[in-house]
């Protein structure tokens, strides 16, 4: 049979995820290519206890349908955390529970984008967002990412000339680069957007993972009615629960809720109840501090090994998160590094899929959260040998 798929599917960029899954299925390969948090740091005992309590106390309700916007006590918990941690006015009515923040990308694009509309992104940009937005066939405009955030001159010109429906950015420990916006640039971005019809979409997947444990004020702090934030418990509790949220003005969430309902009725209610029980009967802040301390050591180890073993490569120095990006010597292809690395049992992610307008041939992204410190040391030595061999062959 000749299946008649929608044209948008054929126009979507080819995903690199299939190759990543192939690599990750080989246990002999040390992979820095994926985007996994450390499985060893998931509080399995605490989550299991919370699950038992929910099933013992209220199983019929926990296993029933619920409202599309999500479990009210969990939404109240999230809003309260914004108020106390960041000093932002937030209410439960401004919080929508979703199936991980990745669903926010899809539903937000579905809500805002018509074919041919403009949307802005960082360059390099998050692969998951590129894939989600591309299905709705927009024109994606990119803004170069500097050490402290987007190039403001290019950003301002893009907003004025192209009038994008929204600009998508990751101000905290950006994926793939690991860079963090300065507070000055966050204010400047809000000033440029004020008075326009462009929404700032703030993906805050890593905001609780700063190595100094100090929160950074979001752009929404300066642009409350024109910015939205997506967040997730995947990096701080457990990705398998698939619980995230959208924090947005009530007017936006009213329409977002309609799109969400059409997609799946509601997110996993059992997991919402278990998660809320876990968060309110344990010490999530102490657990996050433990995660941050481990990631800080791993990141510093990877950076030190880059400097010692591959001084010809420059790399970012993340303030938090799970990723860093390295620039290869001139003429060395990131795709070749990936292919040769897999042969030598180490995997990195080529920069190519993070650039919608071409680029990334000389950059690689590395994840430092999933591997152990011993694996990082071993894997970086393998990567150094790959780079040395390829450079000699040029």
CB of 68 closer than 8 Å to CB of 266: yes
Paired tokens of 234: 């995947």
Domains and CATH numbers, the chain: 16-43+286-392 (3.90.1150.10), 45-281 (3.40.640.10)
Mean pLDDT of 260-273: 97
pLDDT at 73 over 90: yes
pLDDT at 14 over 90: no
What does the alpha-carbon distance between residue 370 and residue 353 come to, in Å, rounded to a whole number?
21
Exposure string for 14-27, b = 16+ CB within 10 A, e = fewer: eebeebbeebeeee
pLDDT band with cut points at 50, 70 and 90 for residue 290: very high
pLDDT band with cut points at 50, 70 and 90 for residue 9: confident
Mean pLDDT of 336-346: 95
Indicate the helix (H) or strand (E) that contains 261.
helix 250-264
Output the average pLDDT for the chain: 95
pLDDT score for 328: 97
pLDDT at 295 over 80: yes
Mean pLDDT of 103-125: 98
Mean pLDDT of 93-105: 97
Mean pLDDT of 124-138: 95
DSSP 84: I
What does the alpha-carbon distance between residue 69 and residue 266 come to, in Å, rounded to a whole number?
7
Mean pLDDT of 152-166: 98
pLDDT band with cut points at 50, 70 and 90 for residue 394: low
pLDDT score for 8: 85
pLDDT score for 69: 97
Preceding omega of 234 cis (within 30 degrees of 0): no
Question: What pLDDT, in 10s, does the model give residues 43-52?
Answer: 999 999 999 9
Question: What pLDDT, in 10s, does the model give residues 136-148?
Answer: 999 999 999 999 9
Exposure string for 311-331, b = 16+ CB within 10 A, e = fewer: eebebbebbbbbbbbbbbeee
Residue with tokens 């995820």: 17
Paired tokens of 340: 């040769």
Exposure string for 261-291, b = 16+ CB within 10 A, e = fewer: eeeeebbbbbbbbbbbbbbeebebeebbeeb
pLDDT score for 20: 73
Pairing type for strands 363-367 and 323-327 reads antiparallel
CB of 362 closer than 8 Å to CB of 327: yes
Between 16 and 131, the higher pLDDT residue: 131
Residue whose C-alpha is closest to residue 179's, from 156, 206, 153, 159 = 206
What does the alpha-carbon distance between residue 81 and residue 87 come to, in Å, rounded to a whole number?
9
State how far Cα 78 lies from the chain centre.
Answer: 18
pLDDT score for 266: 97
**388-393 contacts: CB < 8 A, separation 24 or more?**
389/340, 390/332, 390/336, 390/337, 390/340, 391/312, 391/329, 391/332
What are phi and psi for residue 72, nearest 5 degrees? Answer: -55, -45
Mean pLDDT of 16-21: 71
Question: What pLDDT, in 10s, does the model give residues 171-220?
Answer: 999 999 999 999 999 999 999 999 999 999 999 999 999 999 999 999 99
pLDDT at 267 over 80: yes
Q: How many CB atoms lie within 10 A of CB 56?
A: 8
Angle formed at CA 252 by CA 118 and CA 138, multiple of 5 degrees: 15
pLDDT band with cut points at 50, 70 and 90 for residue 37: very high
What end-to-end distance do the CA atoms of the chain give, in Å?
48
Mean pLDDT of 315-335: 96
Mean pLDDT of 296-303: 98
Q: Which residues contact 35 (CB under 8 A, 6 or more apart)?
A: 175, 322, 323, 367
Mean pLDDT of 375-389: 97
């Amino acid at each position: 049979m000749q299946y008649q798929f929608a044209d948008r599917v054929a126009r979507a960029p080819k995903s690199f995820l299939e190759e990543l899954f192939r690599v990750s299925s080989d246990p002999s390969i040390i992979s820095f290519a994926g985007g996994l948090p450390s499985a060893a740091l998931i509080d399995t005992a605490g989550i299991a206890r919370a699950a038992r309590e929910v099933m013992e106390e209220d199983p019929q309700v926990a296993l029933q349908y619920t409202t599309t916007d999500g479990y009210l006590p969990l939404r109240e918990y999230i809003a309260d955390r914004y108020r106390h941690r960041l000093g932002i006015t937030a209410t439960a009515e401004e919080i929508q529970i979703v199936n991980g923040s990745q669903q926010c990308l899809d539903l937000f694009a579905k809500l805002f984008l018509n074919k041919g509309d403009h949307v802005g992104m960082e360059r390099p940009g998050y692969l998951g967002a590129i894939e989600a937005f591309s299905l709705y066939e927009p024109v994606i405009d990119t803004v170069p990412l500097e050490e402290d955030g987007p190039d403001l001159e290019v950003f301002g010109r893009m907003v004025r000339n192209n009038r994008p429906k929204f600009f998508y950015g990751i101000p905290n420990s950006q994926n793939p680069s690991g860079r963090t916006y300065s507070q000055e640039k966050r204010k400047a971005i809000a000033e440029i957007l004020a008075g326009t019809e462009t929404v700032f979409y703030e993906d805050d997947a890593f905001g609780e993972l700063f190595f100094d444990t100090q929160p950074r004020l979001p752009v929404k702090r300066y642009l409350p009615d024109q910015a939205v934030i997506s967040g997730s418990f995947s990096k701080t509790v457990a990705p398998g629960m698939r619980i995230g949220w959208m924090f947005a003005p009530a007017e936006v969430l009213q329409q977002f809720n309609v799109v969400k309902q059409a997609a799946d009725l509601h997110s996993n209610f059992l997991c919402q109840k278990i998660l809320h029980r876990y968060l309110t009967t344990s010490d999530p802040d102490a657990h996050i501090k433990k995660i941050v301390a481990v990631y800080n050591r791993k990141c510093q180890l990877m950076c030190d090994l880059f400097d010692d073993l591959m001084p010809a490569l420059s790399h970012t120095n993340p303030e938090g998160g799970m990723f860093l990006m390295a620039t290869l010597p001139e003429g060395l292809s990131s795709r070749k590094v990936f292919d040769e690395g897999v042969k030598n049992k180490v995997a990195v992610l080529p920069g190519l899929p993070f650039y919608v307008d071409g680029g990334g041939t000389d950059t690689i992204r590395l994840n430092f959260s999933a591997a152990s410190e011993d694996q990082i040391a071993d894997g970086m030595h393998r990567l150094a040998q790959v780079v040395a061999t390829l450079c000699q062959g040029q």
